[in-house]
Amino acid sequence: MPLSPAQTFAAADITARAATLSEWTATIFEHGETAWREYRSAEWYVDRLRAEGFTVEAGSAGMPTAFCADWSNGDGPIIGLYAEYDAVPGNCQAASTRREPRAGLGYQAGGHTDPHSGLGMAGLGALLAIKAAMIKHGIPGGLRFTGEPAEKMRGSKPIHAAAGYYDGLAAILSFHPFYMLPMCNTVRWDTHCGAAYAMVYRFVCDAPEGWGTHDGAPIPQSHSAVRAPGANDALMLMYQSSKSLRESMLPHQGGWSISEAILTAGQATADNLPAGLAEVQYMIRVPTVAMAEQVTVVLDRNAAAAAAMTGCRYERHWVCKSRHGLANHAIATTVWEAMQAVGAPVWDEAAKAIAREIQTSLGIAPMAEPFIDELSRLIAPQEAEAILRRDLPPSQLNSTSDDYTDMTWHAPTARFYVARPALKAPEGMAYPAWVMNALGGIPATIDPMVQTAAKILALSALRLLEDAGARDTAMAEFKDRTGGGVGGTAWMPPLCDYPAPIHFRWPEYVTTPRGRDWWIPSAMPGA
């Protein structure tokens, strides 16, 4: 389908903004802020959007680092886009061709891995181009741009969904960087991401005097006296028992994973007092909500047993309850047409020179074509679906996890992937993680992805704004899959029945007399 004048204008607008978008991407990459603590990144977006004429609600749905921005060009359909900007602890990498942390920090600080810095800027670049095209060509309608923190914890989208931020939208466009086949330069077709639950189990030893004596007398203060095991022991029992019982949590079919992270409570003591507080977080990634509920039952049982054995009580606090995703072939087709019009990213000689420099630094003979060939090819959604299904049982309808899935229950949603830079590896060799992180921050290597994704987003949104038939077809399919839309017989309501989990000791940057530092001291002693 030929591009409309508005689409052509938007694509040119994004090209014209290339240098600015590159600078902005580098800014968010340098912030490197992690889940629920993306203060500078969220503030940057809020200020930028207000300067561009958007009405912005900062701290949307009770999340200090979330936002919701709206703009209208008169009555008409409203298209939703979004930014993510959370990084990952322990991945602090400079935009450099060698392994080194960002200035003034150590390797344990936060850093972008996916990279969400480029994801968010592709969304913003598209948003500004769509707005400019709507004004120039008199296209009625509106734009909604949400800031989505803590994606790595599947954090904000279930909360935004439950609070109604996606209701009433004509369509939502969801982009993510990727490099692995088959989900590279394509659109998801039938098999969307599955459900995800995440929770923190908190063990509290607030009555240690009841341990070791049947009559409730206080524990003698001698260092050799019996004492309550306390919260650290409860946590370790929970950790080990849940590991050993993992194969009994779910059937051995359908891809699923359970991972955990021990949260530091800062209880450093060499005395014989029991630790009063310890916390462990679990992330459950499963095809269905029913499977997530089953694992939760087992984990609750394990937590109760660990608490009983150690003189503690336990609390379960939700971090995420996310639904599985719904397909929408109509909107996927619209995005695929835009993707074909834009093409795959292309890395120029300057980017290749950087890639060769990285290869040389690792003792690899520099390659004439250092980037993986598939990064600059498109793959049709149906073909990608067929490849994906080869390793899945027929009964498994969803695979892996990402919280965009909550959006699919509130409006027709397309999920598409654009290649991020990744290097070819010699036979039997794997690159260290810092290489991918660095490529996601170096402008010459990440900008092609940002430009490509922004144009696909803009062309797709404008097609939906200008073509009532495309919108109506997508909405009809959405209503059919959800039993008539919100409240329909097949519709699953939001699972979020918890407040934003912002009060835990999530890793973050702090300001000390030494300057800005990671809350776990990130510099080596003497550095």
Q: How far is CA 259 from CA 239, 246, 283, in A?
A: 10, 10, 5
Q: What is the pLDDT of residues 207-235, one digit of tens each?
A: 887 787 655 555 555 666 677 888 889 99
Burial label, 426 (beta-carbon count in 10 A; 0-12, 13-18, 19+): exposed
292/281 Cα distance (integer angstroms): 15
pTM confidence score: 0.94
Own/partner long-range contacts of 519-527 (Cβ < 8 Å, ≥24 apart)? 520/108, 520/264, 521/106, 522/92, 522/101, 522/105, 522/106, 522/107, 522/108, 522/109, 523/105, 523/106, 524/106, 527/106
Q: Phi and psi of 313, rounded to 5°?
A: -120, 160
Distances (CA, A) of 409 to 137, 152, 231, 260, 475: 31, 20, 40, 28, 12
Report how far residue 441's alpha carbon sits from residue 137's, in angstroms, rounded to the nearest whole number.
35
Residue 271 confidence (pLDDT): 66
Structural domains in the chain?
5-192+324-481 (3.40.630.10), 196-323 (3.30.70.360)
Half-sphere exposure of 488 (CA within 13 A, CB side): 13
How confident is the prediction along the chain (527 residues), in pLDDT tens digits per residue? 799 999 999 999 999 999 999 999 999 999 999 999 999 999 999 999 999 999 999 999 999 999 999 999 999 999 999 999 999 999 999 999 999 999 988 899 999 998 999 999 999 999 999 999 999 999 999 999 999 999 999 999 999 999 999 999 999 999 999 988 888 999 999 999 999 999 999 999 988 877 876 555 555 556 666 778 888 899 999 989 998 888 888 877 778 888 888 887 656 555 677 888 899 999 999 999 999 999 999 999 999 999 999 999 999 999 999 999 999 999 999 999 999 999 999 999 999 999 999 999 999 999 999 999 999 999 999 999 999 999 898 889 999 889 999 999 999 999 999 999 999 999 989 999 999 999 999 999 999 999 999 999 999 999 999 999 999 999 999 999 998 777 777 889 999 999 999 998 898 998 878 778 887 666 544 44
288, 195 Cβ separation under 8 angstroms: yes
DSSP annotation string for 406-454: GGGGTS-EEEEEEEPP-B---TT----HHHHHHHTTSHHHHHHHHHHHH
pLDDT at 222: 60
Residue 151: per-residue pLDDT: 95
Contact at 8 Å (CB) between 510 and 104?
A: no
- Give the pLDDT score at 224: 64
Query: Does the CA dihedral 518-507-22-376 come out positive or negative?
Result: positive
What is the predicted pLDDT for the residue at 265? 63
What local confidence, expressed as pLDDT, does residue 219 receive?
Answer: 53
In this prediction, residue 244 carries a pLDDT of: 86
SS3 for 343-355 is CCCCCCHHHHHHH
Among residues 298, 300, 435, 410, which one has the least CA distance to residue 355?
435
142-148 vs 67-72, strand pairing mode: antiparallel
Query: Is 274 in a helix, a strand, or coil?
Result: coil
> In angstroms, how far apart are the furthest CA atoms of the chain?
84
Q: E strands within 149-213?
A: 171-178, 186-187, 195-204
- From residue 227, how far is each of 269, 312, 465 by CA, in Å? 15, 12, 68
From the centroid of its chain, how far is CA 6? 31
Contact 275, 262 (CB under 8 A): no
